[in-house]
Amino acid sequence: MQLRDSILASFPHLCEAGQIRFGVPMKDYCSFKIGGLAEVFCVPQTQQHLIDLLVFCINGNIPYFILGKGSNLLISDKGLSGVVIATSAFTKITRDEDYISAFSGVLLKDLCDFAMEQGLSGLEFAHGIPGSVGGAVFMNAGAYGGEIKDVLYCSKCLVPNLESLTSSSPVLHLKAEEHKFSYRHSALQERSLIHLSSVFHLHHDTTDAIKQRMDMLEAQRWEKQPMNLPSAGSVFKRPEGYFTGKLVDDCGLRGFRIGDAAVSDKHCGFIVNLGSASAKEVLQVIRYVQKSVFDHFGVCLETEIRILGEP
Ligand SMILES: Cc1cc2nc3c(=O)[nH]c(=O)nc-3n(C[C@H](O)[C@H](O)[C@H](O)COP(=O)(O)OP(=O)(O)OC[C@H]3O[C@@H](n4cnc5c(N)ncnc54)[C@H](O)[C@@H]3O)c2cc1C
């Protein structure tokens, strides 16, 4: 049976409700505004729907991808086969004393604004990172000296295997140290865990002071980064002892362009989509930058963004 037929037969209500769709353009779901069609695109509304979809995929050996806000992705022009599962419906945020709990689909901006309104500090660094809580925990996102690992208290995840997903207690509880956080890395990546929610431990400050710090960092972002053009943020991880932007700039690649994909002339660590860039063009720029930096400085630039689908 074709995947579409099998989905229609297994999840008729979710399809009728528009929570499962077919042939969805991924460029509408990522900050680069690049990417072909997702064969199947699901927005589960409950944890059980999410589990049912995962069980369906694992049982059928069907590839699946968990999509947060799509702000760290380069998606192939040929699209994604299998099932894309978006977390955008999981948006609950609650407070309990100095702790804030947020579900995976909560936008970092909304989490940070909530913390600010509650007079809880610690998340100011994350305000301008355009991702979801799930993506941020998965990536150990960070900026301006702060990282998710500094404020994360614990998380709930799913383990992607049938035994765990179909057990009576499918939720795995991870304490902070069990996330094995390091620079842009977490145990969620190692174990392909699916993030459900996290609790952040914050400390008291005034709303005004928190807002002031957020505004200051926001202003720095707008000053230094190409915020008005589609991108996926810093394309490369920071190599130890170097600044990526400077390495790229020193190779003379500021503004280097293939088609509509270009090294940003504002921040050389970013590649921007100047209009209708393809994933292929972005990849060509990435490879060219990597080769130039290696040839000039002997430094290997590893990509931070996740590159998905066939090249
Ligand atoms: C303009 C701009 C500025 C940026 N600045 C920064 C910055 O300062 N610091 C920084 O760290 N990053 C930055 N980024 C990159 C990006 O915002 C972060 O990596 C963010 O954490 C990604 O979150 P997301 O929800 O968009 O994840 P996505 O891009 O949707 O996914 C990223 C990865 O996380 C996985 N994932 C997402 N949700 C889940 C989940 N619930 N369970 C399991 N896996 C999941 C995906 O499968 C994928 O592998 C920037 C991006 C842009 C466009």
Confidence of residue 198 (pLDDT cuts 50, 70, 90): very high
Contact (Cβ atoms closer than 8 angstroms) between residue 102 and residue 156: no
Non-local CB neighbours of 286 within 8 Å, separated by 6+ positions: 235, 271, 303
Tell me 60's DSSP state: T
pLDDT of residue 249: 97
Contact (Cβ atoms closer than 8 angstroms) between residue 25 and residue 39: no
Structural tokens at position 101 = 């709990």
How far is it, in rounded angstroms, from Cα 127 to Cα 208? 15
Q: Which fold does the domain 93-221 belong to in CATH?
A: 3.30.465
In CATH, the architecture of 3-86 is: 2-Layer Sandwich (3.30)
Residues 55-98 pLDDT 10s = 999 999 999 999 999 999 999 999 999 999 999 999 999 999 99
Range 138-153 average pLDDT: 97
Question: Is it the case that residue 311 has pLDDT exceeding 90?
Answer: no
Q: Whose CA is nearest to atom 2 of ligand 1?
A: 233
Domain ranges of the chain: 3-86, 93-221, 228-308
Q: Which CATH number fits domain 228-308: 1.20.120.1200, 2.60.40.420, 3.90.78.10, 3.40.50.720?
A: 3.90.78.10
Substitution candidate for ligand 1 out of 71, 198, 264, 270 with most atoms within 8 A of CB: 71
pLDDT of residue 106: 98
User: Facing residues of 22 across strands?
Assistant: 40
Range 98-112 average pLDDT: 98
Nearest Cα residue to 236 out of 184, 187, 197: 184
Question: Could you tell me the distance, in angstroms and rounded to a whole number, from the CA of residue 11 to the centre of ligand 1?
Answer: 29
Question: Is it the case that residue 37 has pLDDT exceeding 90?
Answer: yes
Residues 225-253 pLDDT 10s = 999 999 999 999 999 999 999 999 999 99
CATH fold match for the domains 3-86 and 228-308: no
DSSP string, 140-172: T-EETTEEHHHHEEEEEEE-SSHHHHTSS--EE
Q: Is the CB of 191 under 6 A from ligand 1?
A: no
- Helices H / strands E in the chain, number of each: 11, 19
Nearest Cα residue to 44 out of 130, 158, 138: 158
